[in-house]
Structure formats: structure tokens, C-alpha cells
Amino acid sequence: MNEPTAVPPSLLDLSTYLLSRTGKTARARLAERLADRGLRLWHMAVLAALTDFGPHVQRDLAVRLSVDPSDIAKVVDELAAAGRVDRSRDAADRRRIRVTATDTGRALLRELQDEAEAVQAELLAPLSRAERTQLHGLLRRVFDGTPSGPDD
């Protein structure tokens, strides 16, 4: 008799199913590590965007990350309260809020990237280094060819 938790073979034949399940596992593991620090994935995403692309007007940051502006405001508020980002009025338009990562925020991002890399190493442990590189290259091609959506 089949185990009730066994995945139907017809689903295992679908790369999209495998990507989805693996992605959910990876996201849950990273989210757990971040939660241990009192953080969520959006905190990391905001710090990454600010570190990689520089200061942003808060509304533009919401657009870049495909996040509702009110949700991004909450994340930025939390990061600002912890000294991880600075907020200031935009000199060109005083109605806009400009957000910048602080040195503390950039240092935190480096720690969070280490956490993400540890999760990645755990998840990809069955693969050789060459296979990991190949997988990354293939996933990047798929990602680059996929239009951005609301769940990004």
C-alpha cells in the first residue's frame, strides 16, 4: 500500500511542481532563520534593494519589490526603528520619503545573506558543485524569461 504522504508520480514528472515544492521548502527554512532574529523576508528584500541599487523613494521601493505601498511602509518603519535604514524627505519633492540603508542595515544584510547561503547549501547538498552551478544557470535563464508578477 502507498504511503499517504507519497507524492503522486504524475506530479513528480512536472518541473513546475518540483520548483514550487522546493521553493516553498527553501522559503520556509529561510523565513524560520529570519524569524529567530525577529525579521521577515521583506526586511531582507528591502535591505538588499537599498544596498544593491542605492537609496529609493519609498513608493519606488514598493514598485521595485512588487509590494503594496502600505506594506512597504510598515517594513521601512520597522527597519528605521531598529536603525537599519534612514528616512528623509526627498529634496526634489518634500512629499516623498527617501529611504537609505545604514551601515547597520548593510551589516545585517551580510549576515542574512550568510543565513540564506546556509539554507541554500542544505537544500542543494545532494548536488555537486558543478551541478549547483548548472542549476543556478538554468534557473536564472528561466527567471530572466519570466515576467514579474504580484508575488515577487
For 28-54, the pLDDT digits (tens) are 999 999 999 999 999 999 999 999 999
**pLDDT, mean of residues 116-145:** 96
Would you say 44 and 31 are in contact if contact means Cβ atoms under 8 Å apart? no
Question: What is the structure's pLDDT at 92?
Answer: 82
| pLDDT for position 148 | 67
Name all domains of the chain by residue range, CATH numbers in brackets: 42-143 (1.10.10.10)
CB count within 10 Å of CB 119 equals 19
Residue 2 has pLDDT above 90, yes or no: no
Give residue-wise pLDDT tens across range 51-90: 999 999 999 999 999 999 999 999 999 999 999 999 999 8
Q: Report d(CA 14, CA 8) in Å as an integer.
A: 11
> Residue 48, exposed/middle/buried by CB under 10 A (0-12, 13-18, 19+)?
middle
